[in-house]
Amino acid sequence: MRAWRWWPSERPSGDPGCASALIVRILGANTERGCVDAVSEAELVSQLARLEREERHVSARRHLLHERIASFPTPEHEQSERELSQQRRDLHRQIDAVQAEIEAIRAELPAPLLRDGVTAPL
């Protein structure tokens, strides 16, 4: 599996360095420099699957809470809904970032490494 390296704040335009701060947070990396030297596509795909599972769980909880609020609204339910909504938005931002990184990696792969010259869908 090919690993990808990039600078903290941008897609590679020259010499690659380390992971973006968002990817470091998503992957839970803990290094002195605050970056990851290389993140493989497989690691990103695995992380994407975990984030999507977490998002489905949060969405299901939020849906149940919406049903409770519809039948019996309370300030506590509304506060919980706001917190779950924020958590869900954060997960969507993380999912989008990981998907973008995966697409960037796949865009760099030579055609023979791709299945029939077409990238596999996420």
Rounded to an integer, the average pLDDT of 43-52 is 96
Using CA atoms, how far apart are residues 69 and 115, in angstroms rounded to an integer?
48
Cβ-proximal residues to 64 (8 Å cutoff; 6+ apart), any chain: none
* Rounded to 5°, angle at Cα 54 from 63 and 78: 35
Q: Is the pLDDT of residue 102 over 80?
A: yes
Provide the strand spans (E) within 34-118: 39-40
User: Given a cut of 90, is residue 122 above it in pLDDT?
Assistant: no
Q: pLDDT tens for residues 51-100? A: 999 999 999 999 999 999 999 999 999 999 999 999 999 999 999 999 99
pLDDT of residue 106: 85
pTM of the model: 0.60
Mention every residue, 6+ apart, whose C-beta is less than 8 A from residue 34: 8, 21, 24
Return the bridge partners of 118, or none: 115
